[in-house]
C-alpha cells in the first residue's frame, strides 16, 4: 500500500529510500490527539461505525486548523500525510467503540493493513497473531479502493475543497457521500442480499425482483456508471476471495451463492442488454466475512482505502494555479411565477 499511496500522493513509485522515508513519515502520523479519543466515548454503543467515522474525521479539522494557506505544497503534503496516517486509526477506534472494547494504539512496526487488523482485533487480554495472507488480502482491498476518478465521494471532496475548506472537513464530506448503498455501502448491502437469498433455488426470485419495473430492488454489487463490462477490480476481488478462503480453509456457502447469482444474471437478457456486470463490491463482502470483519465495517474499510485517493485529489486541486469554487447550475422546472400571498391571508 505504501507504493500505491506514494504514487497517488507524490506522483511516482518510490525508490527504496523514498519508500522507507514515506513509511516512516506516515507511521509518525498514526496517533490521534488524546482529546479526540474522548469523542468516541460520546457515541452510543450501537452507533454505526460510518456515523462515528464521519464525525471524528470532521473533528480532525478542529485539531489541525493550520492557517488555511494550502498554496504552500509542504502544508498540502503534511495534511495529506496526516490524513493517510490517521484514517485507519480512526476507523479501528470506530470499530472498538461500536463493540465496547478498549481502543488499541497503533504500532509503528506494522504496515497499514497489518496495523489495521491489529488495532481492530487485538485485545489486552490475549496475544494477537497476524495472518500474512489475511493481511495481504486486506492490503489488496485497500489498494483496489484507493482511487477511482470522479465517483460521488471523490467529487464531493473536490466540491467541498473548492471553497478552500479545511481538508479534514472535505474528507469527512467524502465519508458521508460514500456511506450510501448506491456507492460504498453496496458491499454491506451485497452480503445482506446474499444472506436473504440464502439458497441457490431462491436466486431466480431475486433476479426477477431486480428486473421488475415496479420493485425498487436492485441486484447489489451489480452495475456501474462507467464500466460497461466486468469491473476489473471485481475479477481481482473474486480471485482474492478464493485464495483467502482456501488459505483459511473456510467453506462459505455465500461464495457459491454469489458465483451462481453472477452466472444467472450474466446469462439474462435484462443484465446483458444493460451491460450490468459485477462491480468491486460483489465479492469484497465475502472476503471481509472470511477476515472476521463485521458487516458494518465494510464501508469503513472502503473509506480507509479511498481516503488516499480523496486526499491526493484534494492536494492536486488545492495546488492549482487558478482555483474556482465549484458551482453547478440548476435548471428550474417548477411552477411558473406565482403571486405572493401574505401569511395572514393563507389558509
Ligand atoms: N440491478 C438491477 N437493475 C439495475 C442495476 C442493478 N444493480 N443497476 C442498474 N440497473 C438498471 C436500471 O434499473 C436501469 O434500467 P432501465 O434502463 O430499464 O431504467 C439501467 O440498468 C441503467 O441504470 P442507471 O440507474 O441509469 O445506472 P447508473 O449508472 O445510474 O447506476 C449504479 C450505477 C452503480 C448506481 C447502479 O448500477 C446500482 O444501483 N447498482 C447497485 C448498487 C451498487 O452495486 N453500487 C456500487 C457501485 S461500484 C462501487 C462504488 O462506486 O461505490
Averages of pLDDT over each 10 residues, the chain, 347 residues: 95 96 96 94 88 95 82 91 96 90 94 95 90 95 95 96 94 96 86 93 94 93 90 92 94 93 94 93 91 92 96 94 89 94 96
- What pLDDT does 322 receive? 82
| pTM metric for this prediction | 0.90
Ligand 1 pocket, CB under 6 A: 151, 182-184, 186, 210, 218-225, 274, 276, 279-281
Coil/strand/helix, residue 236 = helix
CATH number at residue 192: 1.10.230.10
Q: Is residue 313 part of a domain?
A: yes
Helix axes 152-161, 167-178, angle to 10 degrees: 150
What is the C-alpha to C-alpha distance for residues 42 and 93, in angstroms, rounded to an integer? 13
Is residue 277 domain-shared with residue 176, that is, in the same domain? no
- Furthest-apart CA atoms within the chain: distance in Å: 76
CA–CA dist 216, 302 (Å, integer): 25
Domain housing 43:
1-128+146-180+299-319
168 and 194 together in one domain: no
**CATH code, domain carrying 310:** 1.10.580.10
Name the nearest CA neighbour of 279 among 218, 217, 239, 220: 220
Residue 345 in any domain: the answer is no
Does the residue 337 lie in any domain? no
Number of domains the chain is built from: 2
The answer to whether residues 254 and 174 belong to one domain is: no
Ligand 1 pocket test, pick from 146, 182, 223, 284 with the greatest ligand atom count within 8 Å of Cβ, gives 223
In this structure, the residue with its CA closest to atom 9 of ligand 1 is 223
242 located within any domain: yes
In a domain, 133, yes or no: no
126 conformational bin, left if phi > 0, alpha if psi -120 to 50, beta if neither: beta
Torsion of CA 50, 48, 101, 86, to 10 degrees: 10
Residues 38 and 166 in one domain: yes
Q: What ipTM was reported for this prediction?
A: 0.96
> Does a structural domain hold residue 166?
yes
Q: Identify whether the C-beta of residue 195 lies closer than 8 Å to the C-beta of residue 299.
A: no
Cell numbers that stand for 324 in this block: 474556482
pLDDT of residue 109: 94
- On whether both 195 and 75 belong to a single domain, the answer is no
CB 68 within 8 A of CB 164: yes
Q: Whose CA is nearest to atom 36 of ligand 1?
A: 223
Same domain, 112 and 80: yes
* Cα 100-32-157 angle, rounded to 5 deg: 100
Say yes or no: 252 and 215 in one domain.
Answer: yes
Same domain, 305 and 229: no
The pLDDT of residue 130: 94
Cα(219) to centroid(ligand 1), Å: 8
Q: Is residue 139 part of a domain?
A: no
pLDDT at 67: 67
| Element housing 52 (H / E) | helix 49-63
Q: Do residues 114 and 31 share a domain? A: yes
Domain membership flag for residue 140: no
User: Quick one: 158 and 33 in the same domain?
Assistant: yes
Task: Report the alpha-carbon distance of residue 268 to residue 265 in Å, rounded.
Answer: 5
For position 229, what pLDDT does the model report? 86
- Determine the straight-line distance between the first and last CA of the chain, rounded to whole angstroms: 63
Query: Does one domain contain both 29 and 124?
Result: yes
Q: How far apart are alpha carbons 240 and 259 in whole angstroms?
A: 14
Both 74 and 92 in a single domain?
yes
Amino acid at each position: 500500500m505504501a507504493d500505491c499511496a506514494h504514487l497517488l500522493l507524490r506522483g511516482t513509485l518510490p525508490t527504496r529510500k523514498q519508500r522507507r522515508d514515506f513509511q516512516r513519515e506516515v507511521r509518525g502520523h498514526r496517533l490521534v490527539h488524546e482529546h479526540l479519543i474522548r469523542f468516541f466515548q460520546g457515541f452510543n454503543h450501537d452507533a454505526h461505525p460510518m456515523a462515528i467515522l464521519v464525525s471524528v474525521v470532521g473533528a480532525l479539522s478542529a485539531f489541525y486548523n493550520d492557517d488555511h494557506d494550502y498554496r504552500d505544497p509542504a502544508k498540502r503534503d503534511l495534511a495529506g500525510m496526516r490524513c493517510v496516517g490517521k484514517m485507519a486509526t480512526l476507523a479501528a477506534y470506530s470499530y472498538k467503540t461500536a463493540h465496547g472494547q478498549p481502543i488499541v494504539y497503533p504500532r509503528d512496526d506494522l504496515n497499514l493493513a497489518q496495523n489495521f487488523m491489529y488495532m481492530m482485533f487485538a485485545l489486552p487480554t490475549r496475544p494477537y497473531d497476524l495472518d500474512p495472507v489475511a493481511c495481504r488480502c486486506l492490503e489488496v482491498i485497500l489498494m483496489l479502493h484507493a482511487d477511482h476518478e470522479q465517483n460521488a465521494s471523490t467529487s464531493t471532496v473536490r466540491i467541498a475543497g473548492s471553497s478552500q475548506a479545511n481538508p479534514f472537513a472535505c474528507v469527512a464530506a467524502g465519508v458521508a457521500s460514500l456511506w450510501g448503498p448506491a456507492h460504498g455501502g453496496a458491499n454491506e448491502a451485497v452480503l445482506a442480499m446474499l444472506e436473504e437469498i440464502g439458497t441457490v433455488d431462491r436466486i431466480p426470485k431475486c433476479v426477477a425482483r431486480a428486473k421488475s419495473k415496479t420493485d425498487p430492488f436492485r441486484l447489489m454489487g451489480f452495475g456501474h456508471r462507467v464500466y460497461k463490462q466486468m469491473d476489473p477490480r471485481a475479477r481481482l476481488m473474486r480471485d482474492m476471495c478464493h485464495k483467502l478462503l482456501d488459505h483459511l480453509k473456510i467453506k462459505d456457502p455465500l461464495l457459491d451463492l454469489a458465483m451462481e447469482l453472477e452466472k444467472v444474471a450474466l446469462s439474462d437478457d435484462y443484465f446483458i442488454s444493460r451491460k450490468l456486470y459485477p462491480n468491486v463490491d460483489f465479492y469484497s463482502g465475502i472476503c471481509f466475512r472470511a477476515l472476521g470483519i463485521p458487516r458494518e465495517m465494510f464501508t469503513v474499510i472502503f473509506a480507509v482505502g479511498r481516503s488516499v485517493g480523496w486526499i491526493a485529489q484534494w492536494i492536486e486541486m488545492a495546488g492549482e494555479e487558478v482555483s474556482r469554487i465549484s458551482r453547478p447550475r440548476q435548471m428550474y422546472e417548477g411552477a411558473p411565477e406565482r403571486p405572493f400571498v401574505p401569511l395572514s391571508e393563507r389558509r
